[in-house]
Amino acid sequence: MWSNFFARAEQSRARAARPRRPQMSEGRETALKLGLLLAGLGLVLMVTAAGTDHWGQLATRARPGNATCRAAHFGLWRQCLKTILQSELEDEEGICGPVDLPGVSNCSYFQFFTTGEATLIMDRHAEKELFIVAAVLAIICMCLIILGSISIGTALNRNLQFLLKLSATFFISAGLAGVATLLSFDRAALGVLRAVGETELELTFRWSFGCGIASTLFTSLAGLTFLLLSLPPLSPCTAKAGGA
């Protein structure tokens, strides 16, 4: 009986002497949740961008006397060629499009992802290496956002504030990967435009490309938020010295 009493007392003293993990303030927790919301938006937008094929649009110019004209929209993985009636255009002598107009569409994945062969977009050769680089970088960007979100979730649940720097590294790296994805696709699309072809084409960047831009922005802001939160707070002496 007495041995159990002393054992319990010893355990109570040990728990009391154990250093307590500092609790996260309400303001910091709110900032963490805001950063996590930005990261979640960045992930959703990047998944939407990578999974859709409206990054760019190539269109011919409508010619008087022709019944139809051609346009194409494409993304990181596939393209859709569309034949549009010129009577549907607002300006029958302008650019053929937008591709949302009714017409006959034919979609296919880029052949260098399936058979390894060269791919033509509007009868022009696409630069295989740049499209592959853009697709791989988009996947890396999404993986980094997921890893950063897991780290932040663990930091909130376990109150492990040292994970903030790791999460900030993941999200900032994801933002850089997003920028590299956009630049690679931009060069790939311009390469198609510069390729030798019989018809003159007009290039327009569309909403999937905009989703990639927004994802990169939100992810970078989330990384900066977590980086600022990972910095040690200013002591009163330091704050007074800075104010003086």
For residue 61, give the DSSP letter.
B
In this prediction, residue 223 has a pLDDT band, given cuts at 50, 70 and 90, of: very high
Owner of token pair 């009714």: 102
Upstream peptide bond of 98 is cis (omega within 30 degrees of 0): yes
In this prediction, residue 10 has a pLDDT band, given cuts at 50, 70 and 90, of: low
What is the rounded CA–CA span in Å between residue 84 and residue 82?
6
pLDDT, tens digit (0-9, with 9 covering 90-100), for 149-190? 888 888 777 766 777 888 889 999 999 999 999 999 999 998
Nearest to 77 by CA among 143, 8, 126: 126
Q: In 3-state terms, what secondary structure has residue 122?
A: coil
Q: What is the pLDDT of residue 239?
A: 44
